């Protein structure tokens, strides 16, 4: 059984082996750039860790794991264009360093490359893996569209938001785990529980991301703090603030959302102060813990020795208490 650090080293080594030194340079250089940024590389790690629960022979899962990571980074290229985000992992985003057209086209190639890597799945598991991956890819697009739609909607409730982040973020974590489990030889019971473990960790992960966007530190978070506030993004925090605010507080929040602030920091400070007053940080933290506990219940249901599951348990805890 490999440790999480050993798995992480395998993932980093295999990503470095991917060859993007192709022509035209303007198409492939941005791909090499974004993959060189690092990041948590959580999804390929989960794929290999899930596979390793059932077999020491994790090599057949490496190419699909890389495919999932390339696909994830493709979605980031396009998301950053749509969100007009200028910083990713502490560096300029692809559309900022190059331009929108480059980010779109390089992202398209990454999506194709991800399927080419997934296609290297052992033949006996190929259809099952393609089915779960393709379904997940479609769901991620659905989640992104909901996110876009929410920008135009005055009313978005917490359940709507949680479904959006399930689709946009959590399903790919579930897909990564189920992919590794299937290749490793897990039965349907375990593969499903690992998928649901990923879903619940993914929900907790995104709620933590919402919190870090307001309460994190830029040097560790890798993005500008308060970006969601400046974009009037309907996060779990804002949704609950709008539901809880009464009287003048409600009017103030609505004013914050409509007013154009010459100094962006002023808006961030005012909205954060309102979040503190309404105690929505605690509401978000409680929901994170709810999903974390559901994830651990899924993990407990997996029918392998508990010592083998400890790395996944540790990773889930690390994600819950992360600062980046």
For residue range 93-105, list pLDDT tens digits in order: 999 999 999 999 9
Per the domain annotation, does 319 fall within a domain?
no
Say what percent of the chain tops pLDDT 70: 98
296 Cα distance to chain centroid: 19
Per the domain annotation, does 247 fall within a domain?
yes
Per the domain annotation, does 323 fall within a domain?
no
Would the pLDDT of 218 be above 90?
no
Express each pLDDT in 267-310 by its tens digit.
Answer: 999 999 999 999 999 999 999 999 999 999 999 999 999 999 99
Would the pLDDT of 223 be above 70?
no
Per the domain annotation, does 221 fall within a domain?
yes
d(CA 93, CA 33): 10
Do residues 203 and 165 make contact, with C-beta atoms less than 8 angstroms apart? Answer: yes
Contacts of residue 175, defined as CB under 8 A and 6 or more positions apart, other chains included, come to 68, 132, 133, 136, 195, 198
Token output for 65: 């794991």
SS3 state of residue 88 = strand
d(CA 59, CA 57): 6
d(CA 146, CA 82): 13
Per the domain annotation, does 95 fall within a domain?
yes
Q: What is the model's pLDDT at position 10? A: 97
Range of the domain at 21: 4-310
Per the domain annotation, does 317 fall within a domain?
no
Q: Which residues make beta-bridge pairs with 92?
A: 87
Average pLDDT over residues 197-213: 96
89 Cα distance to chain centroid: 13
The CATH number for 230's domain is: 1.10.600.10
Per the domain annotation, does 146 fall within a domain?
yes
Express each pLDDT in 78-122 by its tens digit.
Answer: 999 998 888 888 899 999 999 999 999 999 999 999 999 999 999
């Amino acid at each position: 059984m490999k440790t999480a650090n050993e798995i992480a080293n395998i993932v980093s080594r295999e990503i470095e082996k991917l060859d993007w030194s192709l022509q035209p340079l303007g198409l492939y250089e941005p791909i090499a750039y974004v993959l060189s940024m690092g990041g948590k590389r959580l999804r390929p790690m989960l794929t290999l860790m899930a596979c390793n629960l059932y077999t020491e022979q994790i090599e057949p899962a490496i190419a699909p794991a890389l495919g999932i990571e390339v696909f994830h980074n493709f979605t980031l290229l396009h998301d950053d264009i749509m969100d007009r985000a200028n910083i990713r992992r502490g560096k300029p985003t692809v559309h900022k360093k190059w331009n929108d057209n480059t980010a779109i086209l390089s992202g398209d190639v990454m999506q194709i490359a991800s399927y080419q890597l997934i296609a290297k799945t052992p033949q006996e598991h190929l259809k099952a893996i393609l089915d779960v991956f393709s379904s997940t890819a479609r769901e991620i697009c659905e989640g992104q569209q909901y996110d876009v739609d929410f920008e135009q909607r005055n009313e978005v409730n917490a359940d709507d938001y949680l479904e959006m982040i399930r689709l946009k973020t959590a399903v790919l974590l579930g897909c990564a785990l189920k992919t590794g489990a299937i290749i490793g030889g897990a039965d349907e019971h375990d593969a499903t529980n690992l998928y649901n473990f990923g879903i619940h960790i993914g929900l907790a992960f995104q709620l933590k991301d919402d919190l870090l966007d307001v309460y994190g530190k830029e040097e560790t978070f890798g993005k500008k703090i308060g970006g969601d506030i400046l974009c009037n993004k309907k996060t779990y925090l804002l949704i609950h603030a709008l539901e809880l605010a009464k009287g003048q507080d409600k009017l103030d929040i609505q004013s914050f959302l409509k007013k154009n602030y010459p100094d962006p920091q002023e808006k961030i400070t005012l909205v954060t102060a309102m979040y503190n007053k309404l105690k929505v940080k605690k509401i978000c933290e409680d929901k994170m813990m709810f999903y974390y506990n559901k994830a651990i219940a899924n993990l407990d249901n997996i029918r392998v020795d508990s010592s083998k599951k400890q790395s996944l348990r540790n990773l889930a805890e690390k994600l819950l208490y992360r600062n980046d």
